[in-house]
Structure formats: C-alpha cells, structure tokens
Structure 1
Amino acid sequence: MPAPLGDIAHLGHVELLTPDLEGSVWFFTEILGLTETRREGDSVHLRTFDDYELTSIVVTGHTTSGLRRTALRASSPEALQRRVDAIEAAGGTGRWTEGSAGTGPMYLTTDPDGHEIGLYYESEWYEAPEHLAPGLKNQPQAKPRQGVGVRRLDHVNFLAADVEPNADWVEHTLGARPTEQIRLDTGRIAARWLTFNNKSYDLVYTEDWSGSSGRLHHIAFATDTREDILRAADLCLDNGVHIETGPHKHAIQQTFFLYVYEPGGNRIELCNPLTRLVLAPDWPLITWTQAERAKGQAWGLQTIESFHTHGTPPLDS
C-alpha cells in the first residue's frame, strides 16, 4: 500500500562534499548567487533567495566529492512519525540525531543503495538581516545582486546500482509518486523520477553504469527564466567553470537545462522547470523506451557520454 502523498512536504536541503571547499563556496556564491549564512568547522551553510528555510545546501570540505545527506521536510510531526514507522516496518533502520542546518530532530536512514536520507519536521525559517531584506514581504530575502540568482534548490538525482528497488522504497515508505521513467529493451528500469507534491519531480534515480552504490549524479537549482540559464552559461564560460552539456531542453520532464561541474567535481544542474506542475491526482506513469531515448533530448541534442559515466565520488577515490 503506497504511503499517503503529502507526508513528505518537499526537499529541504543537501550536504555536498568537496575537496576544494573555498572553490566550491566561490561557485555557489559568486556564480549561482547563494548567500552564506554561517560556518561550522569545515562546513559552510548557504541559501537561495527564495527558499524559506534557513539552509538550502551545506558544503563540507572532505577528501573527495559526493553527497553526504539529502534532507526532506515532513508535513507535520505526525507525518514524520508515520514515515519513521513505515521505514522500520519495511525492515529499514535509522537513528535520531540532533538537528542541523536549521532543523529540529532528524531521523537518519538510508535508501537500499546506501544514500543517506534525513527526515525532519521542525525547521528554522530564515529572517533576512536589514541589508538583505526584500521589497516584498512574501519573499524571504532580496534577490542577489551577483551571479545567476537561482531561486531554489530543486531536485537531487541519485546514481544507483539498481534503480527500481530504490524508487519503490521512496514511493512506498516515504510517499512519493513516480511521474516518468526509462525502461530498457531488457525490461530493466534505467531511471525514474518521483515527486512528493505538485512539482513534476523532487528525486530521481539513475542507473550507475559502473554498478557502484551510493553515488551522486547531480543536484539542481531552479532559475526564474530560461534566460537565466543562458546567462549562467556565459558566466561559467567567463569564469572557467566546466560546462558539460547544454543549454538545451530535456525530453523527459521538459526541463530547460545547463550542466556544469563545480570546482569540487560535483555535477550541478541549472534548470527551469517552474512552469510544469503535475496537478492530476491520477497522473499516469510515463514510460520512455530505449529507442525513444536514443533520439536524444527534446530538440535532438545527443546525450553526451560523460552524462552516463561521471558521478561523485569518483570511482578511484
């Protein structure tokens, strides 16, 4: 029996690991336009201007790159406890920990592939200091004067040794619903997109062609417009940030995109999915075939090989 849609409200924040802490912070603040809110040891807390919570991403200095944690906010204390009970009833394990990045107590668990997932409800809302106060009271922070000015943390794409059991776990224990997927000629699911709300997706699982577990494909930040993504491409070009592919439009989910590598080696997507919502309560799972995906992206751009092979941490780390 699927979990109730809505027990998980949305993606809260992520913790990203980097071997180049200052380079990564430079990228997120100067290129993307995030605001640094505090530092704790080797961790730097950053936020987008329109995320209402205190933290959008924690960037932590480490020996390698990758994703340490994905945090999801529950819709109520009762919803949080229901999801904890569902995880443990399904044979999963977890532990409670003190809140971090502006959250209250957090339940830490892992998906079948080993990605760490944190669930919480209590959250600190951001209060802008005077110099960052917005002109409109229904916006948490003034728009940044530098960089792209991304609006929010949008989604996380996990690499997984086997997509289907991970996507099923998110659906049946956390209450997401799948919106689109890729099915290979062998019948194997190569990727699946899932949402917790009316966005078309919050989490994605993509097959790790190396067979490895627990790695990251990318995290994504949403922009106001497609033009912001074109500007981002110029900013990255001017500042030596590696552009992997794009700007272009995905066929799946119809997202306008740009993929770059931040200085720590993690893939970052700039995306503009803001106009596409899944409002139908009975939305059918859209399945793309191997032949359909071989046609490339929406306007015919072929998927670059590194998109299938690059993940973090790197395999030799």
Structure 2
Amino acid sequence: MKELRNAFGGFATGVTVLTTSGENGSVHAMTANAFMSGSLEPPLLVVSVVMAEHIFDIAQLSHVELYTPNIEGSLHFFKDMLGLIETERHGNSVYLRAYEDWSHHTLKLTESDKNGMGHCAWRTTSPEALERVVKKIENYGTGIGWYKGDKGHGKAYEFTTPDGHKMEVLWEVEKVKQTSLLGNRPSKRPLQGVPARRLDHVNLLNKDVTKNRKFWEEVLGFKLREQIVVENGKVEVGNWLSVSALVHEVAVMGDQTGHAGRLHHLCYWWGSPQHSSDLADIFRENGIMIEAGPGKHGISQAMFMYVIEPGGNRVEIFGDSGYLIFEPDWEPVIWTEKNLGQGIVWYGGSLPAEYFRYGTPVVPESPKAKSALEGA
C-alpha cells in the first residue's frame, strides 16, 4: 500500500462535472475518481468516470393561466365549489390557489373573449437551473424572451412548445403567509365547497405528438412515464411525462381537429375518491356539466371526473394520487390497441366522443374527425 501511495500521491473522488449536449443543450452530470502520480516522471493523471446521470432542472408545475369569457361564473366555480382561495386581483385577472399550494397562486383567471390556456409556468430547481433551461430553449429555437414578472413571481422567460402552447420558466415565487396551525400546511382548510388540495397537472392537445413529446423530454428534461401507440407502434397518440414521483405533470395528446396549441384540461388534486362523489352532487345541483366520471383510468390509475366550468374550459377532478414512481430506472408503460380500453377507463363507464375532440379555445372541426382512442 505504501508503494501505491508513493506512486499515486494525489487522490480526488466524487468530482462532479456538468456537461451539455451540443444538439439540444441538455445537461448531464459525470462523477469521476482522479489519481495523480506523485513519483512518476512525467506525472501521470488517471481519471475514471463512474457515473452519468440526467439532471432535473424543472422542479414543478408552478401555475396555469386560463382565459374565460365568463369571469364571474368561473370564479363561482373555482372559489365556491372547488374551494380555491383568492390571493389577489389585478386588471382583468384574479389569482387563486388551493389551500396546500405554498405559492401566491397556481391559477390565474383572465377575462377574455375566448377560452383556453393563456400560459403555463414551470418553476426550476434553482436560479442556475433557470439559466440552463433558458439556454436549452434558446438553442432549440422556440424562445420568446425575458420579462420582469407578474403578481406572485419574479422574472420569467417566455417560450412556446413546438405546437405553440405558451409557456414560461421562473425561479422566484412569492410564498403565502402561513395561517394553518399545521406547520406543514400553508393555509387553513377553506369552509366553502369541497376544497382542492393542490394543483396537479395540465393536459395539452397537439398537432404533432411525437415532436412535442421529444421537446418535453430532450429540452425540458421530463421523463416519459406512460404512452399510447397505435398502428403497430408507428403512431403516438398520447404521452404522460413528469419530473417528480407523480405519474405526470404534463400530458401530450393528439388533437383530432388538426389544430395546434390547445388545452385539453387542467387538473387539481383532492386526495380521496369520496371528494369526487361530493363534488358530483354539487355540480348536478348547480348546473355544472359533468362530462365523464367519476371513474378510474388504467393509465395513471387516476380516479377521475371531468367537468366543463362556466368559462368553457375542461377541468379534471383528481380523486387520489393514482400511483407514485420512485424507481430511478422506470421504463415507460406502453398501451396499444390490445389493452387500450383498460387504459382509457379501468372502470366507471366509457368516455364520450367529445372527450377526445373538445378542447379550448373551441375551434371548428370536420364532422369526419375521429380519435384513435374513440371506441377503445
């Protein structure tokens, strides 16, 4: 051992080097062990790379802006029925959050002559991660630019998906003042409606499913969790991706109308299937259209209910967590024509044809338009 120490005088371990891909700017980390000779002439440096790993720079879905032509009706729905808390009003917008959301808002309702998603915001893991994500987006070519921020958050970088969905990434957010006696809960449980606990995910309609799935994976660093492919694996119909233990924070589905950049639905999480049943009573009594459910998807194992809020946007009521993914080497679950029926609805009745075609903003569609998922 003494001879070895004399030969290999300097020793360093656990040195982590960040590298970027020239093609898309994606960030990876390599951990190396290095040995420096102290007696050989000339000195000998031996470097052993022992690990390469993916770096998650996106931490969470921060907030979503919804356009609504019926601002009072939408506020009645989200506040009085779903129990969201109003944080602030500014201009034509109202900022809301669920009682277990820690930031200023997770929903921005903006009065507009049309419905749909204004933008979707993602928070990074650090200020440095924000700069890395922006560089990757700029290298890809869909960046718009920086702006100083909005109510509840600091500067943000705007961009679009290949399909045209408007997005932004940010780091600085305003935290709410804690009012709950529980130290691990930011706000008291609201006394109105059946209160949602937190924002869960968005589902986006896309003209080019594969191109957009690759963007979420290769540029933004999401992991593919579940996928629908048809026609012997040649056509992607839907993808569910996440940056956390959740099955998905974003879903990428095909738009059967042929349009691009639309919203399928926004989802909040409750935590118990009983909450879905309670809300179904409230919706029926108050004229809210229940499109489907309560039921259970095979995909994501989610207890679902879909409704159309007064502004025309689809909202999913997520009754439980479905399942969580802790395996670092998770392989995507692939659904095909053989088992797609079980994937779409595990139990609870079939989904209506409109579920596969309706999105916001509302657009004209061909009467011949049919989703590959219909009748599954």
TM bucket (normalised to shorter chain) is over 0.9
CA distance in 1, matches of 2:254, 2:270: 27
Deviation at 1:59, TM superposition (A): 0.3
Counterpart for residue 114 of structure 2: 64
Deviation at 1:91, TM superposition (A): 2.7
Counterpart for residue 182 of structure 1: 228
Cα contact 2:205–2:359 (8 A) shared by 1: yes
* 2:227 equivalent to 1:160: no
Deviation at 1:316, TM superposition (A): 4.4
Counterpart for residue 170 of structure 2: 120
Deviation at 1:272, TM superposition (A): 2.7
Counterpart for residue 236 of structure 1: 283
Q: Percent identical across equivalent pairs?
A: 38
Number of aligned pairs?
313
Cα contact 1:58–1:101 (8 A) shared by 2: no
* 2:83 equivalent to 1:33: yes
Deviations 1:5-47, CA, capped at 9 Å, x for gaps: 4210000000000000010011000010001111111101111
Query: Cα RMSD between the aligned structures?
Result: 1.5
Counterpart for residue 266 of structure 1: 313
Cα contact 1:5–1:197 (8 A) shared by 2: no
CA distance in 1, matches of 2:151, 2:294: 32
CA distance in 1, matches of 2:210, 2:154: 31
Deviation at 1:292, TM superposition (A): 1.7
Counterpart for residue 217 of structure 2: 171
* 2:245 equivalent to 1:191: no
The list of structure 1 runs, each at least 4 consecutive aligned residues, that deviate by more than 6 angstroms after superposition, is none
Deviation at 1:113, TM superposition (A): 0.2
Deviation at 1:126, TM superposition (A): 0.7
Asked which structure has the greater CA Rg, the reply is 2
Alignment partner for residue 281 of structure 1, among 328, 337, 358?
A: 328
Deviation at 1:138, TM superposition (A): 1.6
Alignment partner for residue 100 of structure 1, among 150, 153, 157?
A: 150
Counterpart for residue 139 of structure 1: 185
Alignment partner for residue 297 of structure 2, among 242, 250, 258?
A: 250
Deviation at 1:148, TM superposition (A): 1.4
Alignment partner for residue 350 of structure 2, among 299, 302, 316?
A: 302
Cα contact 2:68–2:113 (8 A) shared by 1: yes
What is the letter of the counterpart of residue 262 of structure 1?
Answer: E
Deviation at 1:162, TM superposition (A): 1.2
- The DSSP-based 3-state class of the residue aligned with 2:267 is strand
Deviation at 1:238, TM superposition (A): 1.0
Deviation at 1:93, TM superposition (A): 2.2
- The DSSP-based 3-state class of the residue aligned with 1:194 is strand
Deviation at 1:224, TM superposition (A): 2.1
* 2:255 equivalent to 1:205: no
More RCO (CA 8 Å, sep 6+)? 1
| Residues 300 and 25 (structure 1), Cα distance of their counterparts in 2 relative to 1, 3 Å cut | closer
Deviations 1:264-316, CA, capped at 9 Å, x for gaps: 00000000342621100110011100232235511262221111111000004
CA distance in 1, matches of 2:347, 2:98: 30
* 2:136 equivalent to 1:89: no
CA distance in 2, matches of 1:302, 1:15: 30
Q: Which of 110-119 and 94-103 deviates more?
A: 94-103
- The DSSP-based 3-state class of the residue aligned with 2:257 is coil
Deviations 1:79-106, CA, capped at 9 Å, x for gaps: 1111111111223322001111311100
- The DSSP-based 3-state class of the residue aligned with 2:225 is strand
Cα contact 1:6–1:197 (8 A) shared by 2: no
CA distance in 1, matches of 2:240, 2:292: 20
Cα contact 2:302–2:320 (8 A) shared by 1: yes
What is the letter of the counterpart of residue 250 of structure 2?
Answer: L
CA distance in 2, matches of 1:184, 1:59: 37
* 2:156 equivalent to 1:109: no
- The DSSP-based 3-state class of the residue aligned with 2:301 is coil
What is the letter of the counterpart of residue 283 of structure 2?
Answer: C
